[in-house]
Amino acid sequence: MSLSATKRVEELGLVLPGAGGGAGYYGTRYGKMKPHYLSDKLLFLSGQTAGVDADGKALFPGRLGRDVTVEQGYEAARLTGLNCLSCIKDAVGDLDRVKGLVRSLNFIACDPSFTQPHLVASGLTDLFEQVFGPEIGVGGRASIGVMSLADDYCFETWVTVELH
């Protein structure tokens, strides 16, 4: 039997934001929304980002190809993935309930000439593969360059997962 996602999180030394009764979903500061919606065996996450620093400012602010490097964007996507994992755990209680990643729709704030949003989104995909393995953690994906995101985030995602 393969190692559980919960065990992989521990082995990788990952710390999920909000673990142990944290502040909860931060997205509501942008308007009325739920952090997730559960429909039978599908869990739809609201928009997730890398989060904010101690001063409440977006991590890795700006646009790819202008203010943010591909490596920084990749890290922003990876941190966004940690927020997604935390939201999944909050929603269903256990990461081991994830049967598969259905899809991720990734928005990358970028300069109009930037043509590598896929490299940025790989930060999210690579994290999910490390935690869930390739069969569960890699699903459909689209990465779209946009002109701006709320609070100058450089990366945001919508994720849908299937549950056991």
pLDDT at residue number 87: 94
The label of the residue with tokens 């699903």 reads: 139
Given pLDDT bands bounded at 50, 70 and 90, which one contains residue 90?
very high
Q: Is the model's pLDDT at 19 over the cut of 80?
A: no
Residue-by-residue DSSP string for 52-92: B-TTSPBSS-S-BTTTB-HHHHHHHHHHHHHHHHHHHHHHH
Task: Give percent of the chain with pLDDT exceeding 90.
Answer: 82
pLDDT tens figures, 102-154: 999 999 999 999 999 999 999 999 999 999 999 999 999 999 999 999 999 99
pLDDT of residue 24: 57
Amino acid at 129: E
Regarding predicted confidence, which is higher, 55 or 112?
112
CATH for the 60-164 domain, from 3.40.50.800, 3.40.605.10, 1.10.3720.10, 3.30.1330.40: 3.30.1330.40
User: Which amino acid is present at 121?
Assistant: A
